[in-house]
């Protein structure tokens, strides 16, 4: 039997399934298993967070709020805080929790200014809705964007509770002080709990910002403190809800067979064997997408079953003849060579200081190196999954998405319904790294659910996630430098070529954007008198998307590797030479040298590029690692430093390489200056995770294509770092700072690769300019390729 576009096809000889459908096979779920195990191991339950639904009875809603346009957005207390008559405080988190502990951090900020008792705090997940402002949980911006307004919201609620107490006691509000969930009248000693005051406070006018007194840093109770995670205990007990955990009455399960090429099509489909698989209910053909890719599904054929396993087996039984699309001739090796040829030619000028070409010609010594980094897959532990349910013309979705508002808008556009008719529940995310900011998988679920008339959960397998993602861009770079007779760098040229993320949104776009160039290229902090950054064009043949730290990955790999090469050529210590390249402490603005530098969407005045902070973390990391100490044979330490997402990170990596080329990593030392830090414990964890992510990709990560289709499909050929390969020692030092909060989710990743390759050079003399270092099939370095600069 063959499929027509969007037609639903039941098994031969059977009617289309009714809404009630067959009973779903009952299985012990992951949550059920972990919950049962947790009960047996822990013995007792612990007080936890809320179920994830928004608070229904907010406090402080009397009169128009004067706090709708504070720095960061709306700080109206009722948007963020609800207080029950029991004194329980519900704090709404509008960003997605994916292991970075944003739930805990957001609650710390609010609860501190609110003077809530932490034991009374519950956290609820916001729905996707414009009233919250930006909900896109990427770019390491959650704390930076919301720190001020959440403090204001908490302080405003505290002020209203103090005023309510003053009215109740007929006292001067100046004599009423909030403390740990109560308001104290200092003169009489009277106390009232927040629960007792909440109803009265809700009738008061929200104070203006100039009526609110924020705490001073020395008064902070929770901010900058190592408060334990509010999510980890729930995960251990099998509580909380990830995308894969969602269950709906009468729900069925689906997987999708997608074209191997982006914009490939379907020739013919024979689903007769699939429909014979026990548990398979029907198949649905999804619409073929047209450029630009945007967040559209890739098309293909959905197989619906009573459980995911049946759907997968049904998919395996499909007979699909795919047709080629416009990317059928994409082959990674040929594309690498073409990009490198582009990098060898003069490109578009993106930043310029002095006369770099003249200085190169006049240099005593001239050096050039070329670097390559392949496509990468985000590979979160939890692949994409989504559940969709229609009630008439309204749609409700539960999904592990980083941006529920973009999900809502995407669904509205693709399905032709109003956004107000769509509800998006952001579940917890089992990792994301940028993949789950693209809601194509949610659109698949919504399309299938509408077609079959019942709730459906779409699950992506690991093979789906690796073969059909939005990939980190491939890049080729050429760097040149001129040295004078004393080894000082007099000219620095950086050319970079990569398919831009913008190609996903605009067909044929091949020129890197200013934002991508500002991630490690146009923001190069070197003080050399002549500096030039150029870009070359490259067309995309896969869907290009965000991945943890984005273009910083390949730019920093090239720049920091080349800086180490210059130190060798100059006969100098790597750390000392890198400090000389950075130069004296100063404030740098790439816009003054012809760049269009977005500065991570932050004000360059509030978040200037300060080279002194960069040098400081480099010195700290080097000292932590014992830079300059005697090393055993086969050991080496490498350094790298970079400012990304407004934070300054330096990383030192020690490697050990034996005579057979076996590589281990005895230690990593990292220093980070992220401005004001909300939770040091979680910042350290983010740095550790970011480094592991960077090391894993540098060692093994490579997505390649043949005939337009991705070759890799699972961890045997898309390798990730394993537990026994992780650094044996790992130390993170956080620089104390009173400056504004900066990002922490991504800045740990960019320096990892060059610190590793520089360490390998110092241990073996092997200079690595092409990633990955080892690839998926081997764990040995080819020491015969060792070379001097």
Query: CB count, 10 Å around CB of 696?
Result: 22
Give residue 222's pLDDT: 98
In a domain, 362, yes or no: yes
Same domain, 452 and 598: no
Q: How would residue 785 be classed by pLDDT, with cut points 50, 70 and 90?
A: low
Total domains in the fold of the chain: 3
Q: Which of 606, 586, 613, 609 is nearest to 597 (CA)?
A: 609
For residues 355-390, one letter each, b for 16 or more C-beta atoms within 10 angstroms of the residue's C-beta and e for the rest, the string is ebeebbeebeeebebbbbbbbbbbbbebbbbbbbbb
Report DSSP state, residue 205.
B
Q: How would residue 326 be classed by pLDDT, with cut points 50, 70 and 90?
A: very high
Same domain, 72 and 219: yes
Cis peptide before 378 (omega within 30 of 0): no
- Per-residue tokens: 62: 């009397």
Same domain, 406 and 358: no
How far is residue 30's CA from residue 124's CA, in Å, rounded to a whole number? 22
Residue 149 parent element (H or E): helix 142-169
In a domain, 641, yes or no: yes
From residue 168, give the alpha-carbon distance in Å to each of 84, 86, 173, 203, 238.
18, 18, 10, 13, 44
From residue 405, give the alpha-carbon distance in Å to each of 80, 122, 134, 618, 712.
17, 23, 8, 39, 32
**Beta strands of 98-143 (E only): which ranges?**
121-125
Q: How would residue 384 be classed by pLDDT, with cut points 50, 70 and 90?
A: very high
- Per-residue tokens: 417: 């319904």
Q: Which of 34, 36, 77 is nearest to 59 (CA)?
A: 77
The answer to whether 683 and 742 have CB atoms below 8 angstroms apart is: no
Does pLDDT of 774 surpass 50?
yes
Which single residue is written with the structure tokens 């240099």?
A: 363
Same domain, 710 and 680: yes
- Per-residue tokens: 245: 């955990």
Query: CB count, 10 Å around CB of 298?
Result: 22
Q: Which of 317, 291, 787, 250 is nearest to 508 (CA)?
A: 291
Q: Is the dihedral of CA 21, 26, 31, 36 positive or negative?
A: positive
Which single residue is written with the structure tokens 């920093």?
A: 556
Last residue of a domain, one of 406, 432, 459: 459
pLDDT tens digits for range 261-309? 999 999 999 999 999 999 999 999 999 999 999 999 999 999 999 999 9
More confident residue, 775 or 480: 480
Give residue 53's pLDDT: 45
Q: Is 510 exposed, middle or buried (0-12, 13-18, 19+ CB in 10 A)?
A: middle
Same domain, 390 and 431: yes
Q: How many CA atoms lie within 13 A of 604 on its CB side?
A: 13
In a domain, 408, yes or no: yes
Last residue of a domain, one of 459, 489, 524: 459
Same domain, 41 and 154: yes
Q: How many CA atoms lie within 13 A of 743 on its CB side?
A: 22
Give residue 779's pLDDT: 67
Q: Print the domain residue range for 406.
A: 243-326+384-459
| Mean pLDDT score, 177-181 | 98
Residues in CB range of 744: below 8 A, 6 or more apart: 140, 143, 645, 647, 672, 674, 677, 682, 683, 686, 687
pLDDT tens digits for range 739-751? 999 999 999 999 9
Q: How many CA atoms lie within 13 A of 699 on its CB side?
A: 25
Residue 753 parent element (H or E): helix 752-764
How far is residue 625's CA from residue 652's CA, in Å, rounded to a whole number? 6
Sheet containing 663-673: give its strands across.
635-644, 647-657, 663-673, 729-734
Overall size of the chain counted in residues: 789
- Per-residue tokens: 785: 């390729």
CA 680, 682, 687 angle in degrees (round to 5)? Answer: 95
Does pLDDT of 17 surpass 70?
no
Q: Which of 2, 103, 100 is nearest to 50 (CA)?
A: 103
How far is residue 205's CA from residue 491's CA, in Å, rounded to a whole number? 62
Give residue 48's pLDDT: 29
Q: Is the dihedral of CA 152, 155, 159, 161 positive or negative?
A: positive
How far is residue 167's CA from residue 188's CA, in Å, rounded to a whole number? 15
How far is residue 538's CA from residue 375's CA, in Å, rounded to a whole number? 13
In a domain, 238, yes or no: no
For the CA atoms of 505, 508, 512, 516, the dihedral, rounded to the nearest 10 degrees, stands at 20
Q: Which of 356, 367, 355 is nearest to 563 (CA)?
A: 367
Same domain, 305 and 370: no
In a domain, 525, yes or no: yes
SS percent in the chain: helix, strand, coil, step 5: 35, 25, 45
The answer to whether 787 and 567 have CB atoms below 8 angstroms apart is: no
Q: How would residue 775 be classed by pLDDT, with cut points 50, 70 and 90?
A: confident
Same domain, 388 and 373: no
In a domain, 123, yes or no: yes
Q: How would residue 776 be classed by pLDDT, with cut points 50, 70 and 90?
A: confident
Same domain, 346 and 438: no
Give residue 628's pLDDT: 96
Q: Is the dihedral of CA 315, 316, 317, 321 positive or negative?
A: positive
By DSSP bridging, strand 705-706 and strand 191-193 are unpaired
pLDDT tens digits for range 332-348? 999 999 999 999 999 99
For residues 218-256, one letter each, b for 16 or more C-beta atoms within 10 angstroms of the residue's C-beta and e for the rest, the string is eebbbbbeebebbbebbbbbbbbbbbbbbebebbbbbbb
Does pLDDT of 565 surpass 60?
yes
Residues in CB range of 498: below 8 A, 6 or more apart: 339, 473, 474, 475, 476, 512, 516, 538, 551, 554
**CATH, residue 620:** 3.30.365.10
pLDDT tens digits for range 687-708? 999 999 999 999 999 999 999 9
Same domain, 688 and 635: yes
Same domain, 736 and 608: yes
Give residue 46's pLDDT: 21
Among 58-67, 75-84, 131-140, where is mean pLDDT lowest?
Answer: 58-67
Counting residues of the chain whose pLDDT is more than 90, the rounded percentage is 90
Does pLDDT of 19 surpass 50?
no
More confident residue, 789 or 163: 163
Last residue of a domain, one of 459, 494, 517: 459
In a domain, 19, yes or no: no
In a domain, 16, yes or no: no
Same domain, 138 and 260: no
pLDDT tens digits for range 581-614? 999 999 999 999 999 999 999 999 999 999 999 9
Supply the mean pLDDT for the chain.
92
């Amino acid at each position: 039997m063959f499929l027509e576009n969007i037609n639903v096809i039941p098994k031969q000889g059977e009617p289309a399934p009714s809404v009630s459908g067959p009973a779903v096979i009952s299985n012990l779920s992951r949550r059920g298993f972990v919950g049962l195990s947790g009960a047996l191991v822990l013995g007792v339950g612990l007080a936890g967070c809320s179920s994830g639904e928004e608070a229904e009875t907010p406090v402080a809603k009397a009169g128009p709020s004067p706090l709708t346009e504070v720095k960061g957005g709306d700080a109206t207390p009722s948007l963020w805080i609800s207080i029950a008559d029991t004194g329980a405080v519900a704090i709404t988190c509008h960003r997605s929790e994916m292991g970075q502990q944003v739930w805990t951090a957001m609650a710390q900020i609010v609860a501190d200014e609110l003077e809530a008792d932490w034991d009374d705090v519950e956290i609820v997940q916001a729905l996707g809705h414009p009233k919250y402002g930006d909900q896109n949980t990427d770019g390491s911006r959650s704390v930076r964007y919301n720190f001020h307004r959440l403090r204001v919201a908490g302080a405003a609620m505290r002020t209203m509770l103090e005023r309510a107490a003053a009215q109740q006691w007929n006292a001067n509000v100046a004599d009423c002080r909030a403390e740990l969930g109560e308001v104290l009248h200092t003169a009489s000693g009277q106390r009232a709990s927040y629960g007792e005051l909440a109803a009265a406070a809700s009738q008061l006018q929200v104070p203006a910002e100039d009526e609110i007194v924020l705490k001073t840093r020395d008064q902070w109770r929770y901010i900058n403190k190592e408060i334990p995670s509010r999510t980890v205990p729930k995960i251990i007990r099998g509580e909380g809800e990830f995308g894969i955990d969602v269950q709906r009455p009468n729900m069925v399960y689906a997987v999708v067979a997608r074209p191997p090429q982006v914009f490939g099509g379907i020739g013919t489909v024979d689903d007769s064997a699939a429909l014979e698989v026990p548990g398979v209910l029907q198949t649905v053909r999804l619409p073929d997408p047209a450029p630009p890719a945007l967040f559209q599904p890739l098309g293909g054929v959905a197989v619906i079953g009573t459980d995911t396993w049946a759907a997968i087996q049904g998919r395996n039984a499909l007979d699909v003849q795919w047709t080629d699309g416009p990317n059928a001739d994409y082959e990674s090796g040929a594309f690498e060579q073409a990009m490198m040829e582009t990098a060898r030619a003069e490109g578009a000028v993106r930043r310029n200081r002095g006369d770099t070409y003249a200085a190169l010609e006049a240099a005593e010594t001239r050096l050039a190196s070329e670097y390559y980094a392949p496509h990468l897959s985000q590979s979160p532990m939890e692949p994409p999954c989504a559940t969709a349910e229609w009630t008439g013309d309204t749609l409700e979705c539960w999904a592990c998405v980083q941006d529920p508002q973009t999900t809502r808008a995407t669904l509205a556009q693709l399905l032709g319904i109003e956004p107000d008719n769509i509800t998006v529940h952001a579940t917890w995310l089992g990792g994301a790294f940028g993949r789950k900011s693209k809601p194509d998988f949610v659109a698949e679920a919504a399309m299938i659910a509408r077609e079959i008339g019942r709730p459906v959960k779409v699950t992506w397998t690991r093979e789906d996630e690796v073969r059909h993602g939005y990939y980190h861009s491939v890049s080729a770079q050429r760097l040149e430098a001129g040295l004078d007779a004393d080894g000082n760098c007099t000219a620095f040229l950086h050319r970079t070529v990569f398919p831009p993320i913008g190609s996903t949104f605009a067909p044929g776009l091949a020129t890197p954007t200013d934002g991508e160039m500002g991630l490690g290229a146009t923001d190069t902090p070197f003080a050399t008198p002549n500096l030039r950054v150029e870009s070359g064009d490259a067309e995309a043949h896969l869907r290009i998307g965000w991945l943890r730290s984005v273009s910083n990955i390949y730019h920093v790999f090239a720049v920091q590797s080349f800086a180490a090469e210059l130190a060798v050529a100059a006969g100098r210590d790597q750390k000392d030479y890198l400090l000389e390249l950075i130069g004296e402490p100063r404030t740098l603005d790439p816009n003054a040298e012809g760049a269009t530098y977005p500065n991570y969407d932050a004000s360059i005045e509030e978040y200037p590029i300060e080279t002194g902070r960069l040098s400081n973390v480099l010195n700290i990391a080097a000292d932590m690692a014992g830079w300059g100490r005697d090393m055993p044979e086969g050991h080496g330490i490498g350094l790298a430093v970079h400012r990304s997402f407004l934070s300054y990170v330096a990383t030192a990596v020690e490697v050990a390489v034996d005579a057979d080329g076996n590589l281990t990593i005895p230690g990593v030392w990292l220093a980070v200056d992220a401005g004001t830090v909300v939770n040091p414990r979680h910042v350290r964890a983010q740095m550790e995770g970011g480094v592991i992510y960077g090391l894993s990709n540098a060692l093994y990560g490579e997505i390649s294509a043949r005939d337009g289709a991705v070759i890799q499909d699972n961890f045997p050929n898309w390798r990730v770092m394993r537990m026994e390969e992780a650094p044996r020692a790992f130390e993170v030092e956080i620089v104390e700072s009173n400056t504004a909060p900066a990002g922490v989710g991504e800045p740990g990743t960019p320096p990892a690769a060059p610190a590793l390759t520089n360490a390998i050079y110092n241990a073996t003399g092997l200079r690595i300019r092409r990633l990955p270092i080892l690839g998926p099939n081997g764990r040995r370095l080819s020491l015969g390729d060792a070379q001097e600069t």
